Amino acid sequence: MMRSLFLAAAMSGMVACLGCVPAPPHQATPAAGSFDPRNLQGLWVISNRSQRGYRDENLQPLKDYLTPAAAKTRAAIDVALDPSARCMTMFPRQMGWPYPLQIVQTPAVTLVLFEADQVFRQIHTDGRSWPDTDEQRWMGYSIGHWEGDTLVVQTSKFNPAAWLEADGTPISENTMITERFRLTDAGRTLENLMKIEDPVVFTRPVYRKYVYNLRNDWHLMEYFCAEGNRDNVFDQKEGQAGSLKLSKPAARE
């Protein structure tokens, strides 16, 4: 708890440095009937009530949604070359990992701090539009606004080197992912209804539901995938990933 408080304080301090309004104090888990439906702050853990992954919310296989081009890409992929095997993180996969995430809110930006690989999302809620840049991101660029008690977040500007799923389902630069975050169960459950639109990859929108349980009795732990990763393919395959293989150790000196 101390660590998460410290982390929250550090991050809100960082935001203050950027000229934003300081974060409200960290909230304890609210009692029933007294929660603020717009306060999403807390430590959240993915629930098995979620509907995500290789099937959509109607349990239809994702591969049935693929455009011919995307199906071809997926079929040609060697799943051992999953970027996550070299510890890359990417959205939206990161949202379903079995490690908690902490939400820290300020009026101008909502931060999602992920335990897994200690990465974060910035959801800009200051009314800005998409940046005029060709920057591509593994986690995407996110802007959000409130519709009633629902935080609506749009994320795009993806790096097409990322994968949407571990089976090689691709993601394209202009994929638009819309999330609708809403508290339920007296503030103890966070629902995230996700819509994935990508005319390059999918023939129709894909809908998912992520459900999170509030666990403010936990704190974010440290997690660095590179620490003990035996799945790294750099040293297992010639060619693509193997191009980084150290064939001449002396060259590093």
Partner 1 sequence: MFLRRRKLCDAKNPFKALRGKPVNICSGRRVLLLVPVLVAALAFAVQGRAHHSFSMFDREHPVTISGTIREFQWVNPHTWVQILVPTPGKGKPVEWSIEGRSPNVLARRGWKRTELKPGDKVKLTIYPLLDGSPGGAIVRVIFADGRELNADTPTAVDTNEEGPRK
Interface residue list for partner 1 (CB under 8 A): 29, 45-49, 78-80, 82, 84-85, 87, 98-99, 115, 166, 188, 213-218, 221, 223-225, 227-237, 244-246, 249, 252
Of residues 93 and 157, the one with the C-beta less far from partner 1: 93
Taking the complex as a whole, the smallest distance from the CB of residue 95 to partner 1 amounts, in Å, to: 13
Q: How far is the CB of 37 from partner 1 (least distance, A)?
A: 18
The residue (of 174 and 229) whose beta carbon lies closer to partner 1 is 229
Closer CB to partner 1, residue 174 or residue 243?
243
Decide whether 108 or 166 has the Cβ nearer to partner 1: 166
Using H for helix, E for strand and C for coil, what is the string for the chain? Answer: CHHHHHHHHHHHHHHHHCCCCCCCCCCCCCCCCCCCCCCCCEEEEECCCCECCCECCCCCEHHHHECHHHHHHHHHCCHHHCHHHHCCCCCCHHHHCCCCEEEEECCCEEEEEECHHHCEEEEECCCCCCCCCCCCECCCEEEEEEECCEEEEEEECECCCCECCCCCCECCCCCEEEEEEEEEHHHCEEEEEEEEECCCCECCCEEEEEEEEECCCCCCCCCCHHHCCCCCCCCCCCCCHHHHCCCCHHHHC
CB of 43 to partner 1, least distance (A): 11
> Least separation, in Å, of the C-beta of 82 and partner 1?
5
The nearest distance, CB 84 to partner 1, in angstroms, is 5
- The residue among 71 and 77 lying less far from partner 1, judged by its C-beta, is 77
